[in-house]
Amino acid sequence: MESELNFHRARALLEWQIDLGATEAIGETPINRYKLSDTAPKPKASTPTAEATAPVAAPQVDPVTVAGDMVRSVETLEQLRAALEEFEHCELKKGARNLVFSDGIAGARVMVIGEAPGRDEDMQGKPFVGRAGKLLDAMFEAIGFGRADTESPIYITNILPWRPPQNRDPKPDEIAMMMPFVEKHIELAAPDLLVLMGNVSCQAILGQKGITKLRGRWVEALGKPVMPMFHPAYLLRNPSAKRDAWHDLLMLQAKLKET
């Protein structure tokens, strides 16, 4: 009799649940869902993958490529100077007072290429000034040429247009990023021949060092005759080498007469 009553009671409770809208039985024990809000397990935060957390690498910029792109459309020396002033990939620019571009007369038969500006050049914005510049002028005046000589002028520049700190030698990467500008400079100035003053300019143009062995003989680079010579600053420190410099100047004078 008791089991029959339990049956009818359970049936009545089920029918009452159905009337309330229940459609499925999900457990034998009722659960108060309102009490689970604080104790229910929270979904785990997804762990970022290595790809997601890795910093995004900045695009690599090749200064040599940038320089080459900048000079491609350059057609005048004024445009070349402006391109150098806009070039932002050489750290030397940040510590220099002035851009040292050139001096003398563009279109001269002789183009002198030095290494890099020193303190005096950086202050005045011109290559080869101070004691070394005065000696350079005296050397070329001895064979009838000068930077202000309208009949027999020379044109002067450097491999680097900005002064390295403490007058240190230019680094290979600094030379490399300047070479597109130097080559365009030579193309636009269009000299008959080049004079390379010192080891750095020989390394940049000829790919060789050792000015003591290179000086005193003609070589060719960029389609032009090239004469490596001692830098005037070296001659100031080593006066005995002036005899060799005079020999090289006479070779230069003879070459100009031939052409």
Whether 39 has a pLDDT exceeding 60, the answer reads no
Mean pLDDT rounded to a whole number for the chain: 88
For residues 99 and 201, what is the distance between their CA atoms, to the nearest angstrom?
18
**Averaged pLDDT, 27-56:** 61
- Please tell me the predicted confidence (pLDDT) of residue 192: 97
Domain 63-258 matching CATH 3.40.470.10: the answer reads: yes
Q: Out of 54-58, 66-70, 193-197, 224-228, pick the least confident.
A: 54-58
For residues 182 and 156, what is the distance between their CA atoms, to the nearest angstrom?
12
Closest by CA position to 90, among listed 76, 119, 70: 70
Q: What is the pLDDT of residues 58-93, one digit of tens each?
A: 568 899 999 999 999 999 999 999 999 999 999 999
- Please tell me the predicted confidence (pLDDT) of residue 34: 60
C-beta separation of 156 from 127 below 8 A: yes
**Averaged pLDDT, 177-203:** 97
- H or E stretch including 107? none
Angstrom distances, CA of residue 169 to CA of 88, 116, 172, 233: 20, 8, 9, 13
Residue 211 has φ and ψ, to the nearest 5°, of -60, -30
- Provide, rounded to the nearest whole percent, the portion of the chain with pLDDT above 90: 73
For residues 70 and 81, what is the distance between their CA atoms, to the nearest angstrom?
11
218-240 in b/e burial notation, b at 16+ Cβ within 10 A?
A: ebebeeebbbbbbbbbbbeeeee
C-beta separation of 194 from 226 below 8 A: yes
Give the burial class of 138: count Cβ atoms within 10 A of its Cβ; 0-12 exposed, 13-18 middle, 19 or more buried.
exposed
Where does the pLDDT of residue 259 fall: very low under 50, low under 70, confident under 90, or very high at 90 and above? confident
For residues 8 and 3, what is the distance between their CA atoms, to the nearest angstrom?
9
Residue with tokens 């680079």: 221
Q: What is the pLDDT of residues 102-158, one digit of tens each?
A: 999 999 999 999 999 999 999 999 999 999 999 999 999 999 999 998 899 999 999
